[in-house]
Structure 1
Amino acid sequence: MEAQTLYATGKRKTAIARTWMKPGSGKITVNGKDADAHFTTNAARIIMRESLKITETLESYDVDIRVIGGGITGQAGAARHGISKILAGLDPEMRQKLKANGFLTRDARVKERKKYGQRGARARYQFSKR
């Protein structure tokens, strides 16, 4: 009998991470590559593994992540969100730990749109008095 594979979607900024998790040895793959090969910065690697470390399940599950959009940090945050959602569904005790650290909340901060008549979202064109 095949082990049950769990699925969740995580989001951060414009990145979307589709996450599958099954019992295993702790192998994490992102877009078919090893997680450390995909996430080049140390900060992104830490962000992605945070929820597994807090729940002490780093060596218990194999995680497969398909992530699209955004940059490295956004993708790492989306991966963490997806992993956290799966872990929260497994055990109520894990859910409390994840919720206390804010990993189950979708971070709603996104880039503010540029407004017409302005140079950017908040920046105006330079004013000339004369």
Structure 2
Amino acid sequence: MKVVLASARRKTARARVVVKEGKGRVFINGVPLEILEPEVVRLKIMEPILLAGDLVKNIDIHAEARGGGIMGQASAIRTAIARAILEWSGSEELKKLYLAYDRHLLVEDPRQAEPKKPHGRSARAKRQKSYR
């Protein structure tokens, strides 16, 4: 039985995906994708699956995400799913399709939130200085 493992990161979220032969079921943190809430997250995660089309009909996808927020996890999961499906199929056409649709389906976004500094409200903002 063929099993493919893939992982991805987004901000502080980490995602792992296992793809194996099955009936086309998709589980995100143990929850079926069809009933995953909120809908924005569900649609974001479904993008690589919808683009792959019939390739996904005979595989099961199990995704787990840890850390970060809900959208960071969704982005990490979608990248990991796209990578896993690509490795499973080995299709060069699918790779071109993913890259043309959205480069972040295969390439991670390395940006991270800058840490807060002392004497300020956020990473860059400081208290205004008054001379009068």
Output the TM-score relative to the length of structure 2: 0.84
CA distance change for structure 1 residues 72 and 36 in 2, over 3 Å: closer, same or farther? farther
* 1:59-117: CA deviation from partner (whole Å, max 9, x where unpaired): 34211011100111111111101011112222111111112221111012221121233
Partner of 2:68: 70
Alignment partners' CA distance in 1, 2:39 and 2:51: 18
Partner of 2:8: 10
1:1-130 matches, cutoff 5 A: 3-37=1-35, 39-56=36-53, 57-89=55-87, 90=89, 91-100=91-100, 101-102=102-103, 103-130=105-132
Q: Over aligned residue pairs, what C-alpha RMSD do you find?
A: 1.7
Q: Is the 8 A contact 1:88 1:98 kept in 2?
A: no
Output the TM-score relative to the length of structure 1: 0.86
Question: Which residues of structure 2 form unaligned runs of 5+?
Answer: none
Deviation at 1:36, TM superposition (A): 4.7
Q: Which has the higher helix share?
A: 2
AA at the equivalent of 2:94: M
Q: Is the 8 A contact 1:87 1:95 kept in 2?
A: no
Aligned pairs, how many?
127
Question: Which residues of structure 1 form unaligned runs of 5+?
Answer: none
Aligned identity (percent) is 31
Alignment partners' CA distance in 1, 2:77 and 2:111: 16
AA at the equivalent of 1:40: E
CA distance change for structure 1 residues 13 and 36 in 2, over 3 Å: closer, same or farther? farther
Alignment partners' CA distance in 1, 2:6 and 2:23: 20
Query: Which stretches of structure 1, 4 residues or longer, exceed 6 Å deviation after superposition?
Result: none
Q: Is the 8 A contact 1:28 1:64 kept in 2?
A: yes
CA distance change for structure 1 residues 88 and 119 in 2, over 3 Å: closer, same or farther? same
